[in-house]
Amino acid sequence: MLMTNFLQKRKSVRDFKNKKIPADVLAKIKENMKVIDNLDAMAKFYLFENGSIIYKGLDGKAGYNGVMIEAPHYIGLEFNKDSEINILKSGYLLEKLNTEIVNLDLDTCWITVFAVDDNTKKSLFGENGANIDYLIAIGYGKKKKLFDLAVTQERLSVEEIVSKGSLSEPITAEFLENRGLFDLFSSIRYAPSHKNFQPWRFMIKDESVYAYMVKKDGEDKASLIDMGIILFYFEEMAKTIGINHKWTIELEDKGEYLQVGNFKL
């Protein structure tokens, strides 16, 4: 599969049909939830099949500009949010599950609920609901390619997000082409990010890629989620060129950046 096609399969909708997902498809989603749950002992997914309860409880409190996304079903991820690494992992795991859901020909939409008060979340999600900060709305909606170049916001160029040797040393398209990496970086830069901040930066040094997050007051939590998402995309893109490695996560403060981890080529 072409890398660009992989990304363009992602669909995000805000208007869902009033149509429930068939029981056999929900069963497949639950199977995928269990598989991804097992990747991290501290993570647990929940499927809320009665979407109307979630929608009514969060209307005016979550969504986009206070307008909650109404969907037949929602999925939440319970994760201890006191740790930066857990926030990063939340983005990775949620997008991994989101990918499996999209592959079932369903539509999805991320919803942030970290600003919702704990009492409301516990009443809707259960006793541990305070540890759910993100939902995925799932169902059937109008089709829209999340990364369609015609409708997405402006993106940084490959040369603006990738460097060589140090974060201040420019890189050339020719160097990346010779390493077989230009298409990978060209594709993943269309990943979504909070307020289109695009916090990711990558540095190639020796035989590894290092990932960094640009820090910004008040935005670091959302940016960590975005970094988790793009690390997942990076791994998936790398598989298409025969590199089946995983990111080694090592969070380290680097002044205006947070070093997130490294990936061996």
Residue, of 23 and 3, whose pLDDT is higher? 23
CA dihedral sign, ordered 144, 158, 202, 216: negative
- Residue 3: pLDDT band by 50, 70, 90 thresholds? very low
Tell me what pLDDT residue 46 has.
98
Are 3-139 and 158-264 in the same CATH fold?
A: yes
Percent of the chain with pLDDT over 90: 80
For residue 76, give Cα distances in angstroms to 35, 81, 137, 163.
15, 13, 9, 36
Residue 148 scores a pLDDT above 90: no
SS (H, E, C) 39-100: CCCCCEEEEECCHHHHHHHHECCECECCECCCCCEEEEEECCCCCHHHHHHHHHHHHHHHHH
Residue 192 scores a pLDDT above 90: no
Residue 147 scores a pLDDT above 80: no
Q: List the Cα angle 161/90/255 in 5-degree steps.
A: 45
Question: Which burial class, exposed, middle or buried, applies to 246 when counting CB atoms under 10 A from its CB (0-12, 13-18, 19+)?
Answer: exposed
3-state secondary structure at position 149: coil
Return d(Cα 54, Cα 72) in angstroms, integer: 9
Q: What is the mean pLDDT of residues 80-104?
A: 91
Structure tokens that stand for 101 in this block: 């859901």
Cα 264 versus chain centre, distance: 21
Question: Which is the CATH superfamily of the domain at 158-264?
Answer: putative nitroreductase (tm1586), domain 2 (3.40.109.30)
* Angle separating helix axes 84-102 and 23-37, nearest 10 degrees: 150
- Residue 6: pLDDT band by 50, 70, 90 thresholds? low
- Residue 40: pLDDT band by 50, 70, 90 thresholds? very high
Return d(Cα 111, Cα 114) in angstroms, integer: 9
Structure tokens that stand for 223 in this block: 């940016």
| Nearest to 8, CA basis, from 75, 99, 142, 137 | 99
Tallying the residues shown for the chain, one arrives at 265
- Residue 152: pLDDT band by 50, 70, 90 thresholds? low
Residue 169 scores a pLDDT above 50: yes
Residue 82 scores a pLDDT above 80: no
Q: What is the mean pLDDT of residues 49-62?
A: 96
- Residue 195: pLDDT band by 50, 70, 90 thresholds? confident
| Domain residue spans of the chain | 3-139, 158-264
Number of H helices, E strands in the chain: 9, 9
SS (H, E, C) 152-186: CCCCCCHHHHEEECCCCCCCCHHHHHHHCCHHHHH
Say which residue the tokens 């409190």 belong to.
61
Structure tokens that stand for 204 in this block: 């190639």
Report pTM.
0.91
Residue 222 scores a pLDDT above 80: yes
Residue 4 scores a pLDDT above 80: no
Q: What is the mean pLDDT of residues 231-252?
A: 96
Class of domain 3-139: alpha beta
Q: What one-letter code names the amino acid at 118? A: D
